[in-house]
Amino acid sequence: MMVKALLAKWRYRATLMVLFPVIVGYTVWRAFKDGGRTYALQRFALGIQSLARPLWFHCASVGEVNAVLPLLKLLQKQHPAQTVLVTTNTPTGRDTFIKQAPSNAQHLYLPLDYTFAVRRFLKRIQPSALIVVETELWPHLFLSCFSKQIPVVIINGRLSQRTLAAQNWLKQLYRLSLQEVTAVLARSEDDRQHFMTLGAPAARIKMLGNIKFSGQPLASEEKPARLIEQPYVLVASTHQDEEMQFAQCWKTHQNKKSCQKRLLVVVPRHPERGPAIRSQLAATGITVQCRSESRVVNVGTRLYIADTLGELKTLMQHADLVVMGGSFIPHGGQNLLEPATFGQAIIVGPFMDNFAEETASLLAHKAILQAHSVEEACGQIETLLSHPKTGQQLGVAAQRFMKVRRHIAQQYLDELAQRLSSVGVTFQ
């Protein structure tokens, strides 16, 4: 076993050496594209000021940043003197963090997983502990932390099938990286089992649930004022081609009794597409209007494109029901937790890969509906509008599901404090 581990380490090191020109080239390209000089330097652990033993959270990119923000805000509230460092791999992750960062937290880019960069980084920041969000397993980083007796904890831990199906030498390396972790706090029972399969010690793994559920604000008792007076069905965060599919489908259903007096409101994921969508939908013969051109819905308008910024939450709260876009094409879906918090009846499509666990959990609690096609979704819309009690039951179940899980961030913080204190690290 030791020989296999050593061979895996040398193979990983050799692979990184061979790829070094490519990795440098990509880093320079990304720096020119959106990361800037700071990105280029910090990926090699250059230009970093010394820090005083911060609690270090690593987030790969935007999704992980959004997942951990509720925990960081709780940490600041309960331990305001605690210094926090957040690292990301991407400029988009950095931008997301900077916009919402607690005052006690600062950002750096994670160094590339070369031993020289990792060691330089650790020497400069001297972290009290490393908390990895979700699934980043960097062998040189983990092994360097272990050698310096820096505790490593994985939170909201998840492992993809791709990781589990990796080549044997890579899985051997992952096993080596997980052997000395202080704890793995997994988001689901399946993920707990996956970490055990990959080699994390069973006694150090605990299932706590998905921290993303705690990131949604509680719905206010007082709704904001309506933006659209007419009753409407909302199709949120749509992508290319979904607007056409729903326009054609809505046209065939618009004379049904339940749909006659309702507007179909489409919110494109990228609002700047509004005018182009309207031009595209003109061919269907359905009367279309853009909100960016008029805030008043004209008589006879059947499809209203809300191509404006900052209004989606309000539109969700007043809709008769919400259909989540990005899920009727192979995109991976969009975040369905927000309308669930508002207690809305929700329909999603078949492509919810990016929110698979959230979708499965809500389906298991009979809190959402999933359609295999836009046509099936339109049939479900008609059914829910014709039987409002069914929609209300879905909404109540969704809101109850979210309320029960809103304390998950606190559970993670408590467990993290306990696990770290067992190895001599306490929050300030």
Q: What is the pLDDT of residues 12-62, one digit of tens each?
A: 999 999 999 999 999 999 999 888 999 999 999 999 988 889 999 999 988
**What whole-number percentage of the chain has pLDDT above 70?**
98
417 and 396, same structural domain?
no
111 and 250, same structural domain?
no
309: helix, coil or strand?
A: coil
Q: Using pLDDT thresholds of 50, 70 and 90, give the confidence band for residue 312.
A: very high
- Radius of gyration, CA atoms only, the chain: 24
**What whole-number percentage of the chain has pLDDT above 90?**
75
184 and 172, same structural domain?
yes
| 327 within 8 A of 334, measured Cβ to Cβ | yes
Assess whether pLDDT exceeds 70 at residue 221.
no
CA distance 208 to 419: 13
Assess whether pLDDT exceeds 90 at residue 220.
no
Domains in the chain, number: 2
State the burial class of residue 163 (Cβ atoms within 10 Å of its Cβ: 0-12, 13-18, 19+).
middle
Q: Using pLDDT thresholds of 50, 70 and 90, give the confidence band for residue 215.
A: low
Q: What is the pTM of this model?
A: 0.79
CA distance 323 to 347: 5
167 and 40, same structural domain?
yes
Q: Using pLDDT thresholds of 50, 70 and 90, give the confidence band for residue 5.
A: confident
Count of other CB atoms within 10 angstroms of residue 204: 19
172 and 237, same structural domain?
no
202 and 280, same structural domain?
no
Mean pLDDT over each residue of the chain, to the nearest integer? 92
- The parent domain of residue 386 ranges over 232-404
At 109, give phi and psi (nearest 5°).
Answer: -85, 140
Q: What is the pLDDT of residue 344?
A: 96
| 373 within 8 A of 328, measured Cβ to Cβ | yes
Is 225 part of a structural domain of the chain?
no
Is 311 part of a structural domain of the chain?
yes
Give the mean pLDDT of 222-234.
Answer: 92
189 and 281, same structural domain?
no
